Amino acid sequence: MSTRADMFALAPGFTATATACGLKPNDALDMALIAADAPCSAAGLFTTNRVKAAPVIYDQDVLATNAGSIRAVVINAGNANACTGPQGAANCRAMAEMTAERLGCRAEQVMVLSTGVIGRQLDMAKVTQGIAALTGPNAQQGAGAAARAIMTTDTCPKVAARTIPVAGKMVTIAGMCKGAGMIHPNMATMLAIVTTDAQASPAILDLALRYAADRSFNRVSVDGDTSTNDTLLLLASGASGIPVSDTFAEDGLAFEQFTATLTEVCTDLAKQIARDGEGATRLVEITVSGAQDEQQAHQVANAIARSPLVKTAIHGGDPNWGRIVCAAGYSGAAIAPDRLALWFGPASSPIQLVANGLPLDADLAAASALLRQDPVFITLDLGLGAAHTTIWTCDFSKEYVEINAHYTT
């Protein structure tokens, strides 16, 4: 049976391959290569964790000097290459150099991503074998295989794409990501590569990516942890011949439309991460409305999304709404408790449990049933203004504990 990933393709101007070199057990795919047909523009966002993996530091340097001439991204799973010191930095550089030699470009044109266990040195013999295979005739072809290769505790590959009609042509935005645990705003243990065939400068890509990330990957939480390796890349091949412009042009693509579509792709990927959270059984969408500004709404939604008590109540179908208003209260946002209103369920048929900060005589059995649906919808109105935001998370199950209690053993 074919899956969404099997039918997935990167934007024109890019190719993808994957291989297994033994970094993961059981001969699973564990290395991937995304190569541009010609030098392309790029932008990237990275973890805010002060403990940064070697590839994050390396890629930040690459983008600072070569953002307009990127040729490839090489990725390994099974090892984060984080907290590995000078040897880890040398190994990261070696990955770029080996890939560049195979592609006929400079190491400074190759970006490196790693994900997996922290604090262990890469097995460079296996990595060397993997890079040779990625650029050889026996590599598995296609973006679907690459999306599988970058998985760690993910249960499925995560891909998304959109097209934009422009002057009789099509511009494509297509991306893949991995992430299931250590997920929280400012990205978390997430690797994401988004490609487009639009023509755009690194500066334009950077503006668009920051806007999109703030409304997608920075609105998702699984467990409140932010990792050492978080990386989000946007690569533009220009193969469509359609430029992205902040001024009107009949043959161009407006920056606003490009950014809106990029945000759609990133939101699709972010929601897939939340749905596939470690041990999760359902996606949870938390909307905070009635805020004074978006920052306040985000602060409250963020506290609710990361609350273990809220997430375990959802897992058990327990309509314990007190945990939600409690999380809103300790969020640090200046809320007015006597103005809070709370609903469970989709906008088309919600059940209201709280009004003016006080409980209503709601049907708790029906509310419990809504918490057992997939997805779960929770709406909290602060009664203070017109701003709102939405965050995606998941429930907490005992499987999350089992996965993370034995992650390295």
Beta bridge partners of 114: 76
CA distance 375 to 377: 6
Which of 84, 189, 226, 231 is catalytic? The answer is 189
Q: What is the pLDDT of residue 398?
A: 73
* Homologous superfamily in CATH for domain 283-405: ArgJ beta chain, C-terminal domain (3.10.20.340)
- DSSP state string for 187-241: --S-EEEEEE-SB--HHHHHHHHHHHHHTTGGGB-SSS---S--EEEEEE--TT-
CA 368 distance to own-chain centroid: 30
CA 244 distance to own-chain centroid: 24
Alpha carbon dihedral 251, 255, 259, 265, in 10-degree steps, equals 10
The domain spans of the chain are 14-275, 283-405
Q: What is the pLDDT of residue 12?
A: 98
Is 189 one of the annotated active-site residues of the chain? yes
280: how many CB neighbours lie within 10 A of its CB?
A: 26
- DSSP state string for 295-320: HHHHHHHHHHHT-HHHHHHHHHT---
Q: What is the pLDDT of residue 156?
A: 85
Q: What is the pLDDT of residue 182?
A: 47
Residue whose token pair is 């090892």: 79
Topology at the third CATH level for domain 14-275: L-amino peptidase D-ALA esterase/amidase (3.60.70)
| H or E, element range at 148 | helix 143-149
List the chain pLDDT tens, one digit each, 409 residues. 456 777 899 999 999 999 999 999 889 999 999 999 999 999 999 988 888 999 999 999 999 999 999 999 999 999 999 999 999 999 999 999 999 999 999 999 999 999 988 999 999 999 999 999 999 999 999 999 999 999 987 888 999 999 999 988 999 999 999 875 444 555 555 799 999 999 999 999 999 999 999 899 888 865 555 667 888 999 999 999 999 987 655 668 999 999 999 999 999 998 888 887 666 788 899 999 999 999 999 999 989 998 989 989 999 999 999 999 999 999 999 999 999 999 999 999 999 999 999 999 999 999 999 999 999 999 999 999 999 999 998 888 777 666 556 555 5
- With beta carbons less than 8 A apart as the criterion, state whether 287 and 390 touch: yes
